[in-house]
Amino acid sequence: KAVKSSFLIIFDVVLHLMGVDFPSMLLNLFSMHNKTTFLL
């Protein structure tokens, strides 16, 4: 469990270094999904 959480933290840091904000990216995907389902 601790290894998994630390891996997620490392993954988040790597994405942040690459210029991708992981939480906002998830939020964007979620809002896009909501918009597409709303249009359908």
Between 39 and 33, the more confident residue is 33
pLDDT above 80 for 17: yes
Alpha-carbon distance of 29 to 37, in angstroms, equals 12
Tell me the longest C-alpha to C-alpha distance in the chain: 41
Q: Residue 36 corresponds to which tokens in the numbers above?
A: 């597409």
Range(s) of the domain holding residue 30: 2-39
Average pLDDT, stretch 7-23? 80
Please tell me the total count of domains within the chain: 1
pLDDT at 1: 65
pLDDT at 12: 80
